[in-house]
Structure formats: structure tokens, C-alpha cells
Amino acid sequence: MPSIKVALLGFGTVGEGIYRILNERKEEIKRETGCVIDIVSILVRDKAKERLATPGTRITDDIQEVLSNPDIDFIFEAIVGEEPAYTYLSEAVEKGFHVITANKTMFAKHGPALLKHAKFRRVNFGYEATTAGGVPIIRTVTNLLLTDRVRRIRGVLNGTSNFILTKMRNEGIPFKAALHEAQALGYAEADPTDDISGKDAFRKLMILSALAFGSQPNWQDVPVVGIDRVTIEDVSDASKAKLRYRHVAEILIDEKGLLHGSVGPVLIGPEHPLYGVDGVNNAIIVETDYLGALTLVGPGAGMYPTASAMVGDFLQMIGKHEKVLVTS
């Protein structure tokens, strides 16, 4: 039986989730694809750290061990920040690896160039997990664009912010304690500043903008406000008025083709489609010419939702591109 060899860059919340799913679903994957998945190497920063046992898989802190291994077909990237991730993935694409990433900090800025490069090198590049965790928004918008035109996208794009606002409202838990809980559950970034300042939602919005409209607005023209100034008193006053805070990111294209984006907390009433979206859930409303409005809701962060989006990209690539695999 043919084997597909993969490497994981990063073995934190998301990387470990990929490892677990590929192992837990090994037999189903074998049956459905006719291939054995072999996790050859895992790249980490600190080899001495205690972590899940991974028998038969090499743990390395040297990226060249991965990129110079011609047996590897796919690279899953789940490390942190713009660099060195962009440099690693540029080299991976250049060398002909298929790539799947969860790294929105890197992809918001370099996604368009990486996708162009991947197309030129005839390799697959998946990025479903960069935006809204387990919610299949990239796949959905990609499919919609075959027949339709997107006009506006708005929604809750940061699970940590929504989790904190929900905890403050439902349980009266102060901001800091709710943030600690989000960190313990693996929802928050290694440094949660970008979650609570709105930057994380902004980057996801830019990824959606590039996909839906083929371009991004000037980043500095988009007002970005986080939930860090929302107090428990604000949340309680809103509840008394039957209102809720939601952290909403929005991008729309006007009649002249100009893009307008915004990111920040808004107060919404019970009639609003985002009113019931609580906890770590994300929700995205996509408005198009033909379909009208479509809303997707689901877990926006965490080990299994995010890793399942990446494994989904991977299995779709195997299914669609067996020829690419054979010839790569």
C-alpha cells in the first residue's frame, strides 16, 4: 500500500491535534484513500520539552532536516508568527511540498504571494484553519465564488474574545480570569495580546477579503478595536438593557469597488443574527448577489476544531490530486 509522508511544523495545541487525528483515524483514512499516512518528522523550538510520545517520528529543531527530505510529500505548519514561518513555507513551496497552514499572522500578509507561488510550482496550499478555526468558511466562500459575487462579510472571528465576553455576561467572571480560562483551553494565542486587541480578528478579515474580493484594503485604513476595554460593568449594563457585546469584524465592497473594513465590539439586540453566538464559537455572515445571506457558526479555536480543518484540507488534496502526489 502506498504511503504518504508528512511533516508537522509545530507541536503545540494545533500540531498535537493533527497528530492525534491522523493516528485516531488511521484505519478510516487507509480504507478511504488507499494510503498509509506516515508522520515522518515534527519540528519544534525546544526539543527538551516534555510532550506527547510520538514513536517512530523524529522530533527535530532543524527545519533543514524536513525541507531536505525528498520523501516528504506534505507539510502541516502550525508554528507561531510571521517569521520564520513565511521563510520556511516559501522554501517548502519552491521545493515542491504540498502545504497546509493554520498560521494567520503569516498568511494574512503573505497569503496572496504564497498562493501565487504554489500555483506556479503546481503544489497544493491549504489555509482553511487560518480563519474561524473549525468553521469551513474558506471552502464555502471558494465554492460560492464559482457562481456568485460576495458583497459583504461580517462576523465573530476570534474565539477567545467571544469566550471572554460570554463568561463575563453569563457567570460574572472578570476579564482576566476569563482570559486565563481561554488560555488553559488552548483557545488563546501564545501571546494573547492579538486576541484581545482585535488584531487576530483583523488578520482573519484580511484573509477573507483577499479570498472574496481578490484584494485587501490598506491595513492602516481599517479601524481595529479590541475587547480589552470592555468592563464587567459594561457587560452587566448591556444585559440589563437586553443587549450583548459581540466583537464583530466586517468587510464590504461598495458600488465603486472600494473595500471598507472595521473591527470592534458592538452592542446588539435579540433580533441580530449574532446574538446567540456564545462561547468559543465564531459566526460568519456572507452576503452575495444570488444566494442572499448565508451564516456559518461553529467552534472558532481549540485543538480538535482547528486540526480537523487542516486534516480536512489534507484529505481533500489527496482525493483530488492523486496525480500531483504521484508526480511530485
For ligand NAP, the binding residue among 49, 119, 260, 320 (CB under 6 A) is 49
Residues within window 146-175 making contact with ligand HSE, judged by CB under 6 A: 158-160
Name residues contacting ligand NAP, limited to 92-121 (CB under 6 A): 102-105
State the Cα–Cα distance between residues 235 and 245, nearest whole angstrom: 7
195 binds, among ligand HSE, ligand NAP, none (CB under 5 to 8 A by kind): ligand HSE
Of 18, 22, 39, 79, which lies in the binding site for ligand NAP, with binding defined by CB under 6 A?
A: 79
> Smallest distance from the beta carbon of 161 to ligand NAP, in angstroms?
13
Judged by beta carbon distances under 5 to 8 A according to partner kind, the member of ligand HSE, ligand NAP, none in contact with residue 128 is none
Is 175 a binder of ligand NAP (CB under 6 A)? no
What string marks each residue from 186 to 225 as x (binds ligand HSE by CB under 6 A) or -?
A: -xxx-----x----x-------------------------
Question: From CA 41, how far away is CA 60, in angstroms rounded?
Answer: 7
Q: Is 176 marked active-site?
A: no
Question: Which residue in the list 30, 204, 242, 323 is annotated as catalytic?
Answer: 204
Q: Which residues bind ligand HSE (CB under 6 A)?
A: 133, 158-160, 187-189, 195, 200, 300-301
Binding site for ligand NAP (CB under 6 A): 10-15, 43-46, 49, 78-80, 84, 102-105, 129, 133, 186-187, 189-190, 301-302, 306
Give the residue numbers marked as catalytic.
204
